[in-house]
Amino acid sequence: MLVSSSRGIATGLMFFLATCCGVIVANLYYAQPLVGPISASLGMAPQVSGLIVTLTQIGYVIGLLLIVPLADRLENRALISAMVLLLALALLGTALSASAVSFLLCSLVIGVGAVAVQIIVPLSAHLTSPAYRGRVVGNVMGGLMFGIMLARPVSSMITDVLGSWRWVFALSAIVMVVLVLVMQRVLPQRIPTASMGYLALLRSMGRLAISTPVLQRRAFYQAMMFGAFSVFWTTTPLLLAGPQFQLSQSGIALFALAGVAGAISAPVAGRLADHGLTRPATVVAMLSVIVAFAITHLSAPGSGLSLALLVLAAVLLDLGVSGNVVLGQRLIYALGEAERSRLNAIYMATFFVGGALGSAAGAWAYVSGGWLAASVLGGLMPACALLFMWLTDPADAQAQSPAETG
């Protein structure tokens, strides 16, 4: 039985939403450590194997821009269930794929279906009283971040234990079907008040993007932060597998588990935002990412100390990135209930593009100049966000009402 709360949302429902976000968003990342075995199994040329990850990201951005805005118009539970069922079908198709083309098409659809999480997060804000919105969104986003961090090691371990990458996607498809059945019993209905047509809904997103300075700033900050996140997690597996560390795939999976600790910052960031501390918390988040890259150069690569510093860097980086995304969401969700899903879609799409660019630029930097070049690039991105904040952003708190900043 769900326990009621003065937050306006039952405690059990809040943690169920967090769990939903975690298990759904993990599907975006299962394939990342499996690119090698998937490519070999499907006869995919090395030069196109990167599409395994890229097409999933493209599908996610498509879903953010074309599906998530519908949450401001259609009943939310039905929309979430439909997207998770689509995700389940795509996962099953991926598990049964006999060719590279069918696998890549299913990867694209996985990205589209996974945007259900970006309908769930604003729904948690709708169900919460304003005074507690930051901490509830933070708890739900904590679940999402746990899913992101755990996806890579979990998919590697399942493949090792069961002997095939196909089991990862087959098992996840089963989990998605079960999740929909539970959501039908647990999630409350939410019928939005917006009545505009679909095309008008999409056109309004351009207006919101142009006319909302707080959204613009927070999206830029998180694009830089998520770009740094992508630089780190794209290049550290290459560094750890290289001649200096020589870690196995299982060793790299264990290293990735260190990042899970960073997910605890999401609920903390939400509480700080509820107490009007968004700006100092943002500065701390950006500095933590800069420091994360810097400390990796305190010891010669390959030593036990350098590996320990990389683990600490992973924790610091994920703390900063997880915290900053919640700080931004707390602000943009306060801008208006009727537009909340569209605001969230713009925010997420912008920083997800930043992450994709960071991943591509990070790989190029690592090939060109090794870990030094990659880490400098990664550190410069949050530094740019911090400089931009200092020059242009006198106070994020101006976006909040007096009741929310107290």
Q: Please count the residues of the chain.
A: 406
Q: What percent of the chain is modeled with pLDDT above 90?
A: 38
Q: How far apart are CA 343 and CA 338, in angstroms?
A: 10
Looking at residues 365-383, what average pLDDT do you find?
Answer: 93
Looking at residues 237-251, what average pLDDT do you find?
Answer: 82
Same domain, 202 and 153: no
Same domain, 40 and 172: yes
Q: In this structure, what token pair is assigned to residue 24? A: 């759904």
Instruction: Quote the pLDDT of residue 402.
Output: 34
What's the Cα-to-Cα distance from 195 to each of 192, 282, 338, rounded to whole Å? 8, 36, 10
Task: Check if the beta carbon of residue 397 is closer than 8 Å to that of residue 322.
Answer: no
Looking at residues 334-339, what average pLDDT do you find?
Answer: 79
Same domain, 75 and 6: yes
The CATH number linked to 93 is 1.20.1250.20
Q: In this structure, what token pair is assigned to residue 403? A: 């009741």
Same domain, 185 and 294: no
Same domain, 173 and 260: no
Neighbours of 383 (CB within 10 A): 17
What's the Cα-to-Cα distance from 225 to each of 28, 66, 325, rounded to whole Å? 19, 24, 9
pTM above 0.85, yes or no: no
Q: Using one digit for the tens of pLDDT, what is the confidence trace for 171-217? A: 999 999 999 999 999 998 888 876 778 888 888 888 888 988 999 99
Q: Which amino acid is at 92?
A: L
Q: Give which of 118, 119, 129, 143 is closest to 20, Cα–Cα.
A: 143
Residue 296's pLDDT band, with cuts at 50, 70 and 90, is very high
Q: How far apart are CA 202 and CA 398, in angstroms?
A: 27
End-to-end CA distance of the chain: 33
Angle at 345 between CA 146 and CA 90, to 5 degrees: 65
Q: Which amino acid is at 399?
A: A
Q: What is the Cα Rg of the chain in Å?
A: 20
- All residues at 6 or more sequence positions from 190 whose CB lies less than 8 Å from its CB, including other chains: 75, 76, 77, 123, 126, 127
Instruction: Quote the pLDDT of residue 7.
Output: 56
- Which residue, of 162, 192, 222, is where some domain finishes? 192
Looking at residues 76-98, what average pLDDT do you find?
Answer: 96
Residue 47's pLDDT band, with cuts at 50, 70 and 90, is low
Higher-pLDDT residue of 388 and 156 is: 388
Domain around 50: 1-192
Looking at residues 2-10, what average pLDDT do you find?
Answer: 56
Q: Which amino acid is at 219?
A: A
Q: In this structure, what token pair is assigned to residue 76? A: 């939310």
Looking at residues 393-404, what average pLDDT do you find?
Answer: 46
DSSP assignment of 142-162, as one string?
HHHHHHHHHHHHHHHHHHHHH
Instruction: Quote the pLDDT of residue 46.
Output: 63
Looking at residues 146-168, what average pLDDT do you find?
Answer: 87
**Mean of pLDDT over the chain:** 85
Q: Give which of 250, 240, 191, 186 is closest to 10, Cα–Cα.
A: 186
Same domain, 166 and 200: no
Same domain, 74 and 118: yes
Q: How far apart are CA 204 and CA 259, in angstroms?
A: 37
Angle between helices 340-392 and 278-295 (to 10 degrees): 70
Instruction: Quote the pLDDT of residue 276.
Output: 83
Same domain, 260 and 369: yes
Looking at residues 317-345, what average pLDDT do you find?
Answer: 85
Q: Give which of 50, 28, 329, 323 is closest to 151, Cα–Cα.
A: 28
Positive or negative: CA dihedral 195, 196, 198, 201: negative
Task: Check if the beta carbon of residue 119 is closer than 8 Å to that of residue 341.
Answer: yes
Same domain, 169 and 200: no
Looking at residues 46-73, what average pLDDT do you find?
Answer: 82
- Which residue, of 192, 219, 246, is where some domain finishes? 192
Same domain, 184 and 201: no
Looking at residues 65-88, what average pLDDT do you find?
Answer: 92
- Which residue, of 192, 223, 244, is where some domain finishes? 192
Task: Check if the beta carbon of residue 226 is closer than 8 Å to that of residue 351.
Answer: yes
Same domain, 150 and 233: no
- All residues at 6 or more sequence positions from 81 whose CB lies less than 8 Å from its CB, including other chains: 180, 183, 184
Residue 34's pLDDT band, with cuts at 50, 70 and 90, is confident
Instruction: Quote the pLDDT of residue 82.
Output: 96
Same domain, 361 and 245: yes
Neighbours of 280 (CB within 10 A): 10
Angle at 249 between CA 243 and CA 251, to 5 degrees: 80
Q: Please count the structural domains in the chain.
A: 2
